[in-house]
Amino acid sequence: MDKATPTSDLFQANRERAAPLLKQLRADGIGHMIDGKTVPSISGESFETKSPIDNTVLASVARGNAEDIDRAATAAALAFKSWRDIGAAMRRKVLHRVADAIEDRADDIAVLECIDTGQAHRFMAKAAIRAAENFRFFADKCAEARAGLNMPSEEHWNVSTRVPIGPVGVITPWNTPFMLSTWKIAPALAAGCTVVHKPAEWSPVTADMLAKLVKEAGIPDGVLNTVHGFGEEAGKALTEHPAIKAIGFVGESATGSAIMAQGAPTLKRVHFELGGKNPVIVFDDADLDRALDAVVFMIYSLNGERCTPSSRLLIQDSIAEKFISKLTARVQALKVGHPLDPATEIGPLIHERHLDKVCRYFDVARNEGAAIAVGGRTHAGPGGGHYIEPTLVTGANARMRVAQEEVFGPFLTVIPFRDENDAIAIANDVNYGLTGYVWTADMGRALRVADALEAGMIWLNSENVRHLPTPFGGMKASGIGRDGGDYSFDFYMETKHVSLARGTHRIQRLGI
Ligand code: NAD
């Protein structure tokens, strides 16, 4: 936040920025981007996207089905050969142009994302900048995408190289949708793949902007195609299309299972980033002030609608009372409000169906005998939208549903533990395995716990701080495969072995 400008001025400035963009959006509606053209659905069908702030209709959105997906997949297949063969230097250049275009519109993207998803501006203000960084990072990796190894044997040189797998499908969820979709699309394009993107039906607005910015930046027609619509229609058709060689999917674990089955007949390669019920373990020797900041940030930022939140606080029983008392005060002080207000820390949840889901967990907690220390109610926020009070559940045990199931909201469950072994056992006693956070001054213990946790990503004495070259992904029901750095290329490319004979080895002679 700009310290020199009063919050109310920034709120007003955000609203003024949003007004003409919304007017334009309502007038134009949202179509698919197929082969470089904005088109309606072949069926002529559409659906409405509404703002979670006040349920006003933001736009009429084309409702894609199998026919539209076929059109997009065909365009992606046609564009593939030329995009694959374009030089890495040229690919790098145009991907940097996409990053430039995103940066130019970063403030517009931020306000539209707030209005379409309910996320607070303080978190969305930098989301487009992070999206641009994703494009720049992978643009600079274009030249090394084909890189491989030399594994010489006595009579041969054996080299590996990589080639893009072909047209791929990218299916994304509604949480921080703009940033998150670039995390999949940028490496795919850098690898030389063409893409059909199916964004979430609850957050189509900035996906449409991305498709247009990519076109304006000079990426050839058909290289990125965007088809809007519902998961069971457009999404399913994409996973079943024979021209699509792989599916990069981010969403719920149950949807991942469905996609695996849908893609089986065409032998789709899949990469899944799925749900989580991530533990943050706080030992009694930790820097408790920093731990408290991180605990509050990791579950109550982004409305708790993030895959990597620390949604289970495992607190050593010797410090539980004191820590929970400080935590309670912080949760009570969180500011729920309009997403465009820079003072807001928690905005409305994305959709009334999601609001209902999160609210059901208030009753689940009560019925299981846990205590709701803070929150547990809807909140009358500006616009009358899908607001809830940030919620803190105490007195829980590890087997309760509030300790096992992903709530995907500003909802934290506290579970006390005795010692290191107890903490590890509780932390691993869930189906998920995305992230784990450990707070302790004992580095030996930190490393032992990091080794023992069944999770793809562990942060020691830190909240989640993303570093683009590192592997991102989960174990167990939290995912299959890793993103980030070179790991992304392993998914979007085929590894090929080429063997060169030195001309000296003996070839068996048959038929003489
Ligand atoms: P979701 O699974 O309901 O939907 C995600 C996408 O899949 C949407 O575009 C949807 O239309 C599509 N889809 C739904 N059914 C489909 C089908 N049968 N075939 C093909 N596509 C289908 O998830 P959501 O509610 O939009 O997102 C929230 C979930 O995403 C949470 O579980 C969260 O943890 C997870 N998530 C995980 C990560 C990660 O990196 N692990 C990141 C963000 C979100």
Ligand 1 atom nearest residue 275's Cα: 34
Measured between alpha carbons, how far is 59 from 204 in angstroms, rounded to an integer?
9
Give me the pLDDT at residue 5, please: 65
Catalytic residue among 113, 133, 233, 273: 273
Residue 355 has pLDDT above 80, yes or no: yes
Give me the residues paired with residue 336 across strands: 346
- Ligand 1 — pocket residues by CB below 6 A? 171-175, 180, 198, 200-201, 230-232, 235-236, 239, 250-252, 255, 258-259, 262, 273-276, 307, 406, 408, 434, 474, 478-479
Give me the pLDDT at residue 4, please: 58
Pocket test for ligand 1, best of 61, 175, 311 (most atoms within 8 A of CB): 175
Average pLDDT over residues 153-160: 97
Measured between alpha carbons, how far is 182 from 432 in angstroms, rounded to an integer?
25
pLDDT band for position 34 (50/70/90)? very high
| Residue 497 CA to ligand 1 centre (angstroms) | 35
Residue ID of nearest Cα to ligand 1 atom 23 = 251
pLDDT band for position 492 (50/70/90)? very high
Give the chain's count of helices (H) and strands (E). Answer: 17, 21
Residue 434 has pLDDT above 50, yes or no: yes
Residue ID of nearest Cα to ligand 1 atom 28 = 251
Span of 1-10, 67-76, 117-126 with lowest mean pLDDT:
1-10
| Residue 172 CA to ligand 1 centre (angstroms) | 6
> At 205, which amino acid appears?
V
Catalytic residue among 113, 307, 359, 463: 307
Residue ID of nearest Cα to ligand 1 atom 19 = 236
Residue 41 has pLDDT above 60, yes or no: yes
Ligand 1 atom nearest residue 174's Cα: 26
**Residues 6 or more apart whose Cβ sits within 8 Å of residue 289:** none
pLDDT band for position 115 (50/70/90)? very high
Give me the pLDDT at residue 7, please: 76
Residue 6 has pLDDT above 90, yes or no: no
Which residue segments constitute the domains of the chain, with CATH numbers given? 8-274+478-496 (3.40.605.10), 279-460 (3.40.309.10)
| Residue 252 CA to ligand 1 centre (angstroms) | 4
The percentage of the chain sitting over the pLDDT mark of 90, rounded to a whole number, equals 98
273 has catalytic annotation: yes
| Residue 236 CA to ligand 1 centre (angstroms) | 12
Number of other residues whose CB lies within 10 A of the CB of residue 58: 19
| Residue 411 CA to ligand 1 centre (angstroms) | 19
Measured between alpha carbons, how far is 340 from 347 in angstroms, rounded to an integer?
9
Average pLDDT over residues 336-345: 98
Ligand 1 atom nearest residue 256's Cα: 2
45 has catalytic annotation: no
**CA-wise closest residue to 148 among 500, 508, 511, 504:** 500
| Residue 442 CA to ligand 1 centre (angstroms) | 38
Give me the pLDDT at residue 391, please: 98
pLDDT in tens, 435-478: 999 999 999 999 999 999 999 999 999 999 999 999 999 999 99
Pocket test for ligand 1, best of 183, 197, 252, 277 (most atoms within 8 A of CB): 252
Give me the pLDDT at residue 445, please: 98
Ligand 1 atom nearest residue 307's Cα: 34
Instruction: Look up tokens 């993103």; give the residue.
Output: 483
* Residues 393/409, Cβ–Cβ less than 8 Å: no
Instruction: Look up tokens 């926020």; give the residue.
Output: 381
> At 326, which amino acid appears?
K
Measured between alpha carbons, how far is 172 from 72 in angstroms, rounded to an integer?
17
CA-to-CA dists, residue 379 to 91, 386, 459, angstroms: 48, 8, 33
Residue ID of nearest Cα to ligand 1 atom 20 = 235
Give me the pLDDT at residue 289, please: 98
Average pLDDT over residues 148-172: 97
Number of other residues whose CB lies within 10 A of the CB of residue 266: 13
pLDDT in tens, 217-230: 999 999 999 999 99
Residue 2 has pLDDT above 80, yes or no: no
Number of other residues whose CB lies within 10 A of the CB of residue 113: 26
Give me the pLDDT at residue 1, please: 46
| Residue 387 CA to ligand 1 centre (angstroms) | 22
